[in-house]
Chains A and B, each alone.
Chain A
Amino acid sequence: MFGRLTWDAIPFNQPIPLITSLVVICALGGVAAWITVNRWWPYLWREWITSTDHKRIGVMYIVLALVMLVRGFSDAIMMRAQQAVAIGSSQGYLPPEHYDQIFSAHGTIMIFFVAMPFVIGFMNFVVPLQLGVRDVAFPTMNNVSFWLSASGALLVNLSLFLGEFARTGWLAFPPLSEKAFSPGVGVDYYLVALQISGVGTILTAVNFVTTILKIRAPGMSYFRMPIFCWTALASNLIMLAAFPVLTVALAELMLDRYLGFHFFTNDGGGNSMLYMNLIWVWGHPEVYILVLPAFGIYSEIAATFSGKPLFGYRSMVFATMVICVVSYMVWLHHFFTMGAGGDVNAVFGIASMIIGIPTGVKIYNWLFTMYGGRVRFTVPIYYLVGFMLTFVVGGLTGVLLAIPPVDFVVHNSLFLVAHFHQVIIGGVVFALMAGYTYWFPKAFGFTLDERLGKIIFWCWFIGFHLAFMPLYVLGLWGATRRMQHIPDATWAPWLDVALVGAAIIGIGIVLTVVQLLYSIKTRDQRRDITGDPWDGRTLEWLTLSPPPHYNFAVLPDVHGEEAYWTRKQTAIKLDRLIDEPNYQPIEMPLNTPVGVICAFFASLCGFAVIWYIWWLAILGLVGAFAVFVWYAWRDEHEHIIPLEEVRKNARERRRIRQEHLQNLSQSV
């Protein structure tokens, strides 16, 4: 009846996961009770869960990412603590089978359920606003994408108190991940969760490429799009072409495990290196899926807070698109040690170094944007400068790793671990924190507390360097990654420093929560009345904060590269606003429960497949098809926002803008 699912699945004999599970269940129950007591469910359902508004969906993505960040960071601090104590004769507090689950969960969660939803959340929130339009191309599908990602995250977290997670590392390499060596449900949790969220990601990619190429404000030609939109385009093109390969790699592993196929097995002619190739054909572009939008965020910040247009806009676009293409041609550098031979390794080594060139172009562009500018040292600029310092070093160690003979020495060592954390924390996480600070007022109408923001930056910056610089040293000494026990006592001081660094990052994460709560409490002191708190240059600052559901009462006409800046300067020069347009009623997509119902059936089906409950899996599929048909049958797709409402809101905005203009004109 319930397949493999028995009472043994609950870890009664393992205190750490059991207590954690109980705490998580209590916390979730508490939140649910709180919402119920306050009668917020109808509001949540109407305004958020079923919303097709790209801004709401973006915020939900980012909330998901922040929650999962806490989970992923808990794994990180547990690993650091284990390595700091399990030295010499001590075995530490985590047995190997538990430790292995933790590092697997850490990598999986941080990439798939923190970095991805965070980046996608920003693209959701920002891209339609910057393009001067009202929504993405497929608003309902956008909602479905989000809930499928959430479904994947749910399954990964479920593994904490039902069964186990994979013990195979975050990419589940065979033959270790094959049935013969990993018979439990851990790898199945991993595979199913990633397949479900992967479908969501492919739909996101379809949605955003279509949006950016087909839905832009009048006059917004390609070379007038803000850089963040360009990087989002590049990132989504990569997603579109890379995620299907991940789907195939994981599907083939599933076929091996569930139906006894021989893709990657040791017997039957299987070839585990095929998996390495497929997974890294996705895996390396994935790095650029994350970092290109991060570069876009830095570009917006550099221009805004330097009070200058971005230096070398076109070279930035070309650098982005070159990275987009070359990102597919370097995957083999993840396994130079496969033994493909000197020629092949040389080609991929050189290709990997070539990627450094457009990246270098970008660094110079940001530097020259700041150079000669009137730089305002706000929190996002801190992250930008911190990023440039950190990322350049991370890039250099990357170039070292791209030299095959060097890679043979440090392959799978802590040197590698330090390198990729340096580019991902220094490159992606700093950008996400900067973007969070930068766009927060646009989403909620008030800014985040500046002083706490700067402390959080220093926690990340100092914490990161303390946590990962020692790993470079240890890696060069021969410390391999994923060690549950440290044999050499002389490594202890370095691991202690790393633990301290991780703890400082932890303080930064706690302070992020504190900052949010404090900023909400004192929001009246930092209201963003005008909708343009940073003296911005792109169209999202044209509308009020938070923007109305439809973003713009009329789509803005774009003149010049910096659509909003041009308009603002014209208004200041002539000391008057743009003529009042002829307002029209606005057609907006209806809310829909289809996303959350889809995700419900996907989770049900996924859970059933993990535990071999076949009747439930079939039920889930039939349910999903029924929802699909039911949805296809609906007749109403849009609702009309009446002219009076549009006009009233727009006139209120004009009044605010008129006051703002007078203040600006007086100060000039």
Chain B
Amino acid sequence: MTSSEAVAIGLTHGGSEDTGLGNRGPQSKSIVVPYGFWLFVLSDMVLFSALFASYASLVHATDSGPVTNQLFDRTNVAIETASLLLSSFVCGLAIIAAKRKNLFWTEAWLVLTGLLGLVFLVIELREFAGMIAIGAGPQRSAFLSSFFTLVGCHGAHVTAGLLWIGTMMAQIWAKGFQPHIGRRLLCLSVFWHALDIIWVAIFTIVYLIGTLP
């Protein structure tokens, strides 16, 4: 029997025929880890879509309380949006710096990413505090419950992202650019960009539509 015949019937190892996807065996960690994280982000998107659905079905249930265009301020939201989108851009710069294994610029861009995220968060919390102060807190009506939950959940994600950025920076500082730390940094940037996508939807559905005359 020739060796090619032996291969064809599976008597020797290797040389299984090309069957398209999956013929190469298990993928490397640099593919598997970000892929799994992507799936998690997708399920997070589903979570937000349920919150959007709640908001959409309760937005008019104001219980004779304040309605959307009495509460939202476009200027405020514009600053929030700008700082969050900019922080995403800076996060991209941090990834580029990390690819070049430049410790200083990686850390610097990560600090800036976190600071811009913090700016966003402070503005959001001030908005929330202002609303609660005028009696438009989440207990006021179903609309406000769903508003605070949707926007607050995004804010909670940003907070978690800030914790992650801090931990990540400490880790890069302590351990340098090891392969698994590089993968984590990539997951962090996926997370941070995903929060932007959610914010664009919040910006449109909650604030833009909500401040139409």
Contacts and interface: CB of A to CB of B under 8 A. Distances in A.
Interface string A128-139: 000001000110
B50 interface: yes
B51 interface: yes
Task: Kindly state the interface size class of chain B when it binds its partner.
Answer: 35 or more
Interface in B41-59: 42-44, 46-47, 50-51, 53-54, 57-58
Interface string A85-96: 000000000000
A518 interface: no
A270 B140 CA distance: 11
Interface string A243-261: 1110111011001100111
A241 B31 contact: no
Interface stretch (B12-20, B112-120, B199-207): B12-20
B139 A260 contact: yes
A214 B31 contact: yes
Contact of A219 (B17, B143, B163): B17
A558 B26 CA distance: 13
B142 interface: yes
A220 interface: yes
Chain B interface helix/strand/loop/mixed = helix
Given A244-B43, A566-B10, A632-B167, A271 B61 contact: yes
Interface residues of A, number: 70
B23 interface: yes
B25 A249 contact: no
B2 to A, nearest CB: 14
A262 B63 contact: yes
Given A214-B31, A260-B139, A206 B10 contact: no
B32 interface: yes
B26 A133 contact: yes
A209 B39 contact: yes
B100 to A, nearest CB: 23
Given A202-B43, A214-B31, A224-B19, A579 B25 contact: no
B104 interface: no
Contacts of B24: 218
A479 interface: no
Contact of A268 (B14, B15, B47, B63): B63
A57 B206 CA distance: 44
Contacts of B50: 244-245, 248-249, 278, 281
The 8 A-B pairs with the shortest beta carbon distances in the complex, nearest first, are A269-B61, A219-B16, A244-B47, A269-B142, A218-B25, A221-B19, A248-B50, A261-B145
18 contacts: A202-B43, A210-B35, A216-B26, A217-B25, A218-B16, A221-B22, A240-B43, A240-B46, A243-B43, A251-B149, A256-B145, A261-B139, A262-B139, A262-B140, A278-B50, A554-B13, A560-B10, A574-B11
